[in-house]
């Protein structure tokens, strides 16, 4: 290998997540890897985005895009324009922002969600409590990152975040 280059190899087990988020009758287990966040979502029967998550983020529908795979159980997604689809085991999918979703039947739905984070790049990354990610490339842009997250939280969700709250959640990419 040439001097000054590095090959990255990183392995994490989703059973020991970097982050665990409870969403009513659902749980998200997240592992962060260079360039990606991998999430295992387990939604219990009766879980519904509009009932279990909307009150936490303050939006009428999910503002996040999802690229994923259903491991087990069944799930229904209804887009804001009225289109809907039932997902089952083995279904790989992309769902744009602007949807509601819920578990179908009496079995928990387990899904894997893949999100590109650009984490292999230098800089800082921060997230609004709703999950929307913001990033900057250099230390001298940190004030812009904090401002963007605070403005998003306030304008989109009506939440007032202090600079200290935002900085507590910011990490190096």
pLDDT at position 58 over 70: yes
The superfamily CATH assigns to domain 19-116 is Jelly Rolls (2.60.120.10)
CA 95, 97, 98, 104 torsion-angle sign = positive
pLDDT tens per residue across span 64-108: 889 999 999 999 999 999 999 999 999 999 999 999 999 999 999
Mean pLDDT, to the nearest integer, of 136-153? 82
Structure token pair of residue 153: 């939280």
> β-strand 99-104 against 36-43: which pairing, if any?
unpaired
Structure token pair of residue 70: 């259903």
pLDDT band of residue 122 (cuts 50, 70, 90) is low
Indicate the domain borders of the chain. Answer: 19-116, 124-172
pLDDT of residue 35: 78
Mean pLDDT, to the nearest integer, of 40-44? 97
For residues 152, 153, 158 and 163, what is the CA-based torsion angle, rounded to 10 degrees? Answer: -120
pLDDT at position 3 over 80: no
Cα separation, 20 vs 13, in Å, equals 13
């Amino acid at each position: 290998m040439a001097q000054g280059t590095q090959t990255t190899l990183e392995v994490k087990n989703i059973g020991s997540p970097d982050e665990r988020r409870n969403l009513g009758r659902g749980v998200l287990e997240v592992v962060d890897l260079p360039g990606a966040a991998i999430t295992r979502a387990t939604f219990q029967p009766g879980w519904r985005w509009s009932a279990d998550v909307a009150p936490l983020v303050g939006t009428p529908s999910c503002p996040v895009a999802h690229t994923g795979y259903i491991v087990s159980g069944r799930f229904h997604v209804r887009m804001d324009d009225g289109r809907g689809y039932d997902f089952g085991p083995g279904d790989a999918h992309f769902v744009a922002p602007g949807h509601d979703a819920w578990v179908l039947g009496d079995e928990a739905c387990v899904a894997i969600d893949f999100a590109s984070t650009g984490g292999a790049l230098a800089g800082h990354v921060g997230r609004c409590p709703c999950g929307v990610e913001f990033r900057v490339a250099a230390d001298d842009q940190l004030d812009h990152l904090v401002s963007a997250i605070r403005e998003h939280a306030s304008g989109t969700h009506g939440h007032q975040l202090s600079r200290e709250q935002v900085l507590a959640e910011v990490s190096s990419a």
